[in-house]
Amino acid sequence: MSERFIFGNWKMAQSLAKGQEFLAGWKFQAESVRVGLFLSYPHIKPLMDIAPKTLEFGAQDFSDEQSGAYTSEVSAEMLSEIGCRWSLLGHSEVRQRHGESEERLSKKLDLAEKHKIQVVFCVGENLEAREAGQLEEVLERQLSVLKAFSGDCLIAYEPVWAIGTGRTASTAEIEEAHNLIRQEIPGVALLYGGSVKPGNSKEILSLEAVDGLLVGGASLSLKDFVSICESALESS
How many chain residues are in contact with ligand PGA, going by CB under 6 A? 13
Alpha carbon distance 231, 199 (integer Å)? 10
Alpha carbon distance 112, 202 (integer Å)? 32
Catalytic residue among 43, 91, 115, 178: 91
**By CB under 6 A, which span of 53-61, 75-83, 127-135, 193-201 interacts with ligand PGA?**
193-201
Alpha carbon distance 95, 84 (integer Å)? 22
Q: Closest distance between ligand PGA and the C-beta of residue 69, in Å?
A: 31
**By CB under 6 A, which span of 27-35, 62-70, 97-105, 194-202 interacts with ligand PGA?**
194-202
Alpha carbon distance 20, 28 (integer Å)? 16
Catalytic residue among 100, 125, 158, 178: 158
Is position 215 an interface residue for ligand PGA (rule: CB under 6 A)?
yes
234 catalytic residue (yes or no):
no
140 catalytic residue (yes or no):
no
Q: Closest distance between ligand PGA and the C-beta of residue 142, in Å?
A: 15
Q: What residue type is assigned to position 85 of the chain?
A: R
Give the three-state DSSP class for 173: helix
Q: Closest distance between ligand PGA and the C-beta of residue 148, in Å?
A: 25
**Closest to ligand PGA by CB, 8 or 145:** 8
Would you say 207 and 171 are in contact if contact means Cβ atoms under 8 Å apart?
Answer: yes
Is position 193 an interface residue for ligand PGA (rule: CB under 6 A)?
yes
The whole-angstrom distance between residue 125's C-alpha and the CA centroid of its chain comes to 16
**By CB under 6 A, which span of 56-64, 127-135, 214-222, 226-234 interacts with ligand PGA?**
214-222
Sole binder of ligand PGA in the list 4, 6, 9, 84 (CB under 6 A): 9
Alpha carbon distance 56, 59 (integer Å)? 11
- Fill in the per-residue mask, 149 to 178: x = in contact with ligand PGA (CB under 6 A), - = not in contact: ---------x----xx--------------
Alpha carbon distance 229, 28 (integer Å)? 8
Is position 214 an interface residue for ligand PGA (rule: CB under 6 A)?
yes
Beta bridge partners of 157: 123, 192
Site for ligand PGA in 86-125 (CB under 6 A): none
Alpha carbon distance 85, 87 (integer Å)? 7
Q: What are the residues whose beta carbons fall under 8 Å from the beta carbon of 99, sequence distance 6 or more?
A: none
Site residues for ligand PGA per CB under 6 A: 9, 158, 163-164, 193-196, 214-218
Give catalytic residue positions: 91, 158
